[in-house]
Each structure stands twice: as structure tokens, then as C-alpha cells.
Structure 1
């Protein structure tokens, strides 16, 4: 797919400068550079300044001293870029993330950050970011989430420490090294003639449908995962499968592998543990959904690879 990397969180060409990560003195010098900028993140929510700009700040800001060890994201054309987790901060007025909701619309302002900077749920603004900011936000959110959930060594159980400028954890007790994980997920544009297969999971907002998706299993190819997941969830057999595009998806640490598959039959048999509903939807209905005119189906969230695949299927641009 020739436009594959135009998907949100697609590659922006950030120089991740992996060769610098093991040089603590060099990383420290980059941190002290006048061109260095850092992205504060609070409980998974990046800082934003305005509606579509990340809230980058200078590394000398006093509030950053209360954060976790900084993570080196890479070298932007304007200078080094870092991220830091400020999740230990507790808002004085008790304002916190919304609990039990599909989407957290709450916003928080740290008093030590510039006026106008606030922590925002990335899902709501991801499609408005520049490619570079989107890549940095996804990388920061994914790495910080990994550090928060992998504090202890999986070999001996002792607490591990941040190493390699945030790209590794090392156990001082047994010497084991641990690296950030990415979970591959297949997301499938399954078609049969002029129709595409969509489903909805229990608990999703009313009218929300998407392409079927599922985690890959050990020892499984992408193609096999597509066929297995569609058959398990909807009872549909799938023949030919081809790769289309991928999307880093930091919720919390997935890589969405977009694929196209041809259905061999049309009868749907739902697995109620996985899907609340599944249906075949025509091109005309998809067009109405994107226009906001479908009575039962609304367009996928902006920025999600499901919408990217459906839009390009509708425009016949999957080559």
C-alpha cells in the first residue's frame, strides 16, 4: 500500500539515535543542551499546548525534577527530544482521570508547567498532530507505560532499574536485561464483493463499529492470525490475505498490522464473548457513515487505522 505510512503515528523520520543510548555522558550533555526539549506525561496523558501541539518544555524546568528518569526519544532536526513521567504528581483539587469510561475527556494542569499546558487523552487529538509530534507522543506513551508495568525483573522478581536512556531495564540482583515489548495485533479489512465486515465489542459507545482485530499468537503468521481471529469471532472463513499498513498503537503497547482478506462465505456466527454484533456493510453505507448520515453506524475515531483502511477501501486506494 503506497500510502501506508500516512496513517496516524506512522513514521515521521525521527532519528532515534540508538547508538547514543548507552553513552550516559553524551545523553547528559544532550539533556543540558539549549535546544533540548522534553514532553511531560502524566498517567498516560501527554502534555499539550493548544489544541494540536505537544507541550514541549525546556529540560531545566524545576517541575521535571519530581519525575521518573528521563527517556531519550531521539534527535529532531531542532535538537534532542526527551520524555518524562510525572505521574507521581497529585492534583490538589482532586481532579483526576475519568474512571470507568471508554474515553477520558478530563484535562489536568500541572502548576509547574507553563500556563495553557494540560494533560490530555491522546485518543481525542491524535489525528490533529503533526507526523513528528504523533511519533514522539506514541513513543513516549508506550515507553512510559512499559516502565510503569515492568518495574520488577521477570527472572528473579527483584526491582529493576532504568538503563540505556530509558530503552532498557536492568536487574542488579540477577543481571537480567529487559527490553520494551510490542504486542502485534492484526486488524482486518474483510470484504466480500461490495461489502466489508464490521463488528462491535460489548461496552463500546452506541453506533461504534470497526474492523475486526485480535492479538497474534506465538508461532503464528500474520495471515494465519487474520483467518483464525475472523473465524473465531464471526464464523467467517477467509481465503487470500495481504498486508496493507501498520500503526503503532500505544494503548498500551500494540503494533496494529492492517491486512485485507477475502471472505469465502457470508454467514455470520457470533462469539458473544468477543463481539456484541457483526454485520456486512456496503460501500454506500460506509460512505454514509463517514458523512455522519448513517442511522446506526458512526465513522471510526479519527486517527485509528480502522478508519484509514475503510476510507482507502472506499476510495479504491488499497494498492
Structure 2
């Protein structure tokens, strides 16, 4: 697919500087370099600034807000020859915090800190992802994913002892049994399933009213991508799928997935949903999808802008899958 890397969070060409992750002198020099910058996250929310178009804030290492950090920074990569790290300040408790809002489907709240400049605030990445440029989006997603992994993998899966950060944050090692642990990414297939002029769309319980998207599911151990597409579609909607091909991928740090976008050709039309997986599934024509994106229908809300589902659907509408 010629447009594959235009998907949100992809295609910025970030230099991840992997060769210095284990180089202690190089990392020390980077931490002393005045050009080094830090990307800040609070409970998974990146620090941004701006109005309609947003930018990911990069702070100098001596910024006073970094006094809130409790762990070593994670190396994200290099920009213009200077290192960029990620720091987590989730221990900070903003005044008048509404914790209930943090767990919503899309969190509308923004938080700030008295040490930050006016206009700088922490915002939920799913809500703002299309307002960041490609580089800022990739840095934000990488920081969210790697810090999220550290937050949930602080103990050794082999012996249960507390593990320690190594390789500039890209590895954890257990001091008790010596096991090495690496950041986890879960492969998920997401499928544009078509039959003639129609595509198969479904919705999960708890989604906003009228919202439908492409079907998706985790790849199981020992399974190919193509087999996962066919299994998931049949399990969720009772539809058998024939030819399957890969289209594009998207890192999805909510919390730690790689969305593998595929096109599958349905062999049948009758839908039999699994209510444990889906609330509903429907066949939708090209014209109906186009009308939904144009805001001309109230009964069908397409996948959120920035998600690979919308990327696949828009390219299907434009006949750009090849």
C-alpha cells in the first residue's frame, strides 16, 4: 500500500539512537549536553502546547518540573543531533482533579503544573493525536508505550522479584534470577472486510452511540496474520473470509498494541454476531460510509479520526488500497 506510512504515529523517520542505549559514557554525555530535551508525560498524557495545531513540548533537563520525577528517564531517540528522553511525572496530584473523568472513553480533561509555562498542559493522546505533526505523534506514542510498559512490568515474570531498568529504559533485568525482560507489543489484526460494494463494520459495548469500526482482534501464539483475520471475523460475526492481504500498520499505545491493517474478502454475507465480542455488526455501502464521513447521517458514526480503521476506510473509498 503506497500510503501505508501516512497513518497516524507512523512515518516520521525518528532516529531511535539504539546504538547508545547500552553506552554509559554516551548516555552520561547526553545527560550533560545543554541541547538534550525531555518529553514529559503525566499518567499517560503528553505535555503539549498550542491551540488548534498542537506541539509536543520538549523541556531542558534543568527545568524545575522535573523535580516531580521518581525514575530514570527513557531514551526516545535523537533530533538534530541531540538526545530526547521521556520522563514521567505521574506522582504529581493536580488540585481539583476529577479522577472519574480520567477513565472515560476519551478523556476531555487537561492538567497543568505550576512550574510549567502558560498554555502548556497534559492532554489525552487519543483526543489530540491528529493535531500533532508526524514527529511529535511518534515521540508521544513511543513515550506513552514505553512508560506504560515500565509501569506494569516492575516485577520479574520468572521469579517475582523487583526488576531494574537497563539499556536506557529499553530493558529490565531481574537482579535475583538474571532474567532479561523487553518492552511488550501485542499484535492486533484490524480488518477491512469487503464484499462487492460493501464493508463489514461492528461496534463494541460501551462505544459512543452509533459508532462503528472495522473488526479487530489479537493474534494468537502460533498463528499467522492471515489466519488471525479469518478466525477473528468468523468468531465475532460468523463471516468466512477468503483472500487476505496486508495493507498498513499503526503503533497503538493504548496500552501496547501494534495494529496490523489487512484487507479480507468475505465469502458470505449472513452475519451471526457473538454477543460476548460485539454489540452489533452491519454491512455498509461505500455511499453510506462516505455520507457518514461527510456528516450527512446521524445513524452511523465512523471510527475516530487518526485511528487506522478510518485510514483503511478512507483509502477504500478513494480506491487506494494498492
The equivalent residue for 2:123 is 120
- Between 44-53 and 205-214, report the one with greater CA deviation: 44-53
Please state how far the C-alpha of 1:92 moved relative to its aligned partner.
2.9
Structure 1 residues 245-274: Cα deviation after superposition (integer angstroms, max 9, x where no partner): 000000000000000000000000010011
The alpha-carbon distance between structure 1 residues 97 and 54, as it changes in their structure 2 partners (threshold 3 A), is farther
Which segments of structure 1 move beyond 4 Å, counting only runs of 4 or more?
Answer: none
1:39 paired to 2:39: yes
1:297 paired residue among 296, 300, 310: 300
Gaps of 5+ in 2: none
Please state how far the C-alpha of 1:20 moved relative to its aligned partner.
0.1
Please state how far the C-alpha of 1:191 moved relative to its aligned partner.
0.1
TM-score scaled to structure 2, two decimals?
A: 0.97
Alpha-carbon separation, structure 1, partners of 2:67 and 2:22:
22
SS of 1:256's partner is strand
1:87 paired to 2:90: yes
CA contact (8 A) 2:102 2:109 kept: no
Alpha-carbon separation, structure 2, partners of 1:97 and 1:11:
35
CA contact (8 A) 1:46 1:54 kept: yes
The equivalent residue for 1:2 is 2
Alpha-carbon separation, structure 1, partners of 2:100 and 2:72:
23
The alpha-carbon distance between structure 1 residues 47 and 99, as it changes in their structure 2 partners (threshold 3 A), is closer
Alpha-carbon separation, structure 2, partners of 1:100 and 1:128:
22
Alpha-carbon separation, structure 2, partners of 1:16 and 1:61:
23
CA contact (8 A) 1:96 1:108 kept: no
The equivalent residue for 1:172 is 175
1:25 paired to 2:25: yes
SS of 2:55's partner is coil
1:155-166 to structure 2, matched below 5 A, reads 155-166=158-169
SS of 2:231's partner is helix
CA contact (8 A) 1:71 1:82 kept: yes
Structure 1 residues 115-139: Cα deviation after superposition (integer angstroms, max 9, x where no partner): 2111100011101211111110110
Alpha-carbon separation, structure 2, partners of 1:5 and 1:99:
30
1:240 paired to 2:252: no
1:72 paired to 2:75: yes
Structure 1 residues 201-254: Cα deviation after superposition (integer angstroms, max 9, x where no partner): 001001110000000000000000000000000000000000000000000000
Please state how far the C-alpha of 1:298 moved relative to its aligned partner.
1.5
1:179-258 to structure 2, matched below 5 A, reads 179-258=182-261
Alpha-carbon separation, structure 2, partners of 1:150 and 1:7:
29
Alpha-carbon separation, structure 2, partners of 1:271 and 1:97:
30
1:102 paired to 2:105: yes
1:255-294 to structure 2, matched below 5 A, reads 255-294=258-297
CA contact (8 A) 1:95 1:108 kept: no
Alpha-carbon separation, structure 1, partners of 2:257 and 2:102:
22
Number of corresponding residues: 319
SS of 1:53's partner is strand
TM-score scaled to structure 1, two decimals?
A: 0.97
CA contact (8 A) 1:40 1:47 kept: yes
Please state how far the C-alpha of 1:77 moved relative to its aligned partner.
2.1
